[in-house]
Amino acid sequence: GIGSPHGDDRVGWEIANAIQSRINGEAASVRLLRTPDELLDWMEDTQELVICDACQGAGEIGSVHQWEWPCAVLESISWSGTHNLSLLAVLALAHQLGRLPASVRIWGVEVQQVQPDQSMSNTVITGAKNAADSICKTLCFRLNETEKQHA
């Protein structure tokens, strides 16, 4: 999860923490990042990358969205925070370097308040819970399918 301690921008961290509390640590590695460029430090040996971040311009506050990289729609979304290198630029760079996993899914929750000294809004907290629920269901389904293939 990508985030910061500023208001609704915590949503990526909240989603990641909720997922971490529900999954077996051996099945997935969950990280809390401050900036998208931190993804480059550990994505190389990853087969599937799930990114959680705050977004703006995708829908109503608290709404949950999912995209598979690459996707043209992502260009019209504003990603939260003041990152030196945007999430989309980091993914493009990872692709050019041959370090991008085969599957990249981006989950965003629409946010509003990302100023310092603010807490997350109740609507975004609900969105984070809904996103974590959806991600866990998706990952559980994939794990079950993998187990069936190996049986």
Is residue 132 domain-resident? yes
How would you write the chain as a 3-class SS string? CECCCCHHHHHHHHHHHHHHHHCCCCCCCCCCECCHHHHHHCCCCCCEEEEEEEEECCCCCCCEEEEECCCHHHHHCEECCCCCCCHHHHHHHHHHCCCCCCEEEEEEEECCCCCCCCCCCHHHHHHHHHHHHHHHHHHHHHHHHHHHHHC
Each residue's pLDDT tens digit, 58-111: 999 999 999 999 988 888 887 765 557 889 999 999 999 999 999 999 999 999
Domain assignment present for residue 17? The answer is yes
How far CA 132 is from CA of 1, 40, 137, in Å, comes to 11, 23, 9
Looking at the domain assignment, is residue 84 inside a domain? yes
What CATH number has the domain bearing residue 47?
3.40.50.1450
For the segment 109-150, what is each residue's pLDDT rounded down to a tens digit?
Answer: 999 988 888 999 999 999 999 999 999 998 875 555 544 443
Range of the domain at 135: 7-150
Does residue 14 belong to any structural domain of this protein?
yes
Is 2 a member of any domain? no
In a domain, 47, yes or no: yes
In a domain, 92, yes or no: yes
Domains in the chain, number? 1
pTM value? 0.86
Residue 1 included in any domain: no
